[in-house]
């Protein structure tokens, strides 16, 4: 049986800061991400984030912070995927990895097009420095309604 003082001591212990956890993880894997193949791994991770965000419940993207994450994840992933697909030999990427990034890119762009069409995302959410694939998607997708209107 635990006494009350020990229980309280455990409850008021300072939580671990997320930033320190991320810094530790980043430092642990920094050497892998500086290799040419590390860029492929990083692009795949950004792609997983973008794919998850764009395929999740779209009403969550009405929040400005969530929308900013969606835009950042897509822009980062799509620019990295385009670079890797254009010169896979520079990144030590094999054909399977390039195809996987291409499929993920297609899913993200299709989801983005639907979100723009539904008015969840708007052109002004994206900066002028977006990848070409995003600019093409935005150009062919006009909003049909405003899903975030209250």
> Where are the domains positioned within the chain?
36-139
Contact between 148 and 119 under an 8 Å Cβ cutoff? The reply is: yes
When mean pLDDT is compared across 46-50, 80-84, 128-132, 140-144, the lowest value belongs to: 140-144
When mean pLDDT is compared across 89-93, 116-120, 142-146, the lowest value belongs to: 142-146
At residue 92, the pLDDT reads 87
Quick: pLDDT tens for 94-142: 999 999 999 999 999 999 999 999 889 888 888 878 899 999 988 888 7
Q: What is the pTM of this model?
A: 0.72
Residue 140, phi-psi category: left (phi > 0), alpha (psi -120 to 50), beta (remainder): alpha
């Amino acid at each position: 049986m635990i006494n009350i003082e020990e229980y309280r001591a455990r409850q008021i212990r300072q939580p671990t800061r997320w930033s320190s956890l991320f810094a530790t993880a980043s430092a642990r894997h920094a050497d892998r991400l500086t290799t040419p193949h590390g860029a492929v791994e990083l692009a795949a991770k950004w792609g997983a984030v973008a794919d998850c965000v764009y395929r999740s419940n779209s009403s969550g993207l009405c929040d400005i912070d969530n929308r900013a994450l969606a835009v950042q994840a897509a822009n980062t992933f799509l620019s990295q995927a385009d670079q890797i697909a254009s010169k896979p030999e520079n990144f030590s990427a094999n054909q399977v990895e390039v195809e996987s990034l291409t499929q993920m890119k297609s899913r993200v762009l299709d989801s983005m097009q639907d979100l723009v069409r539904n008015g969840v995302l708007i052109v002004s959410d994206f900066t002028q420095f977006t990848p070409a694939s995003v600019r093409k998607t935005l150009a062919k997708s006009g909003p049909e309604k405003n899903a975030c209107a209250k």
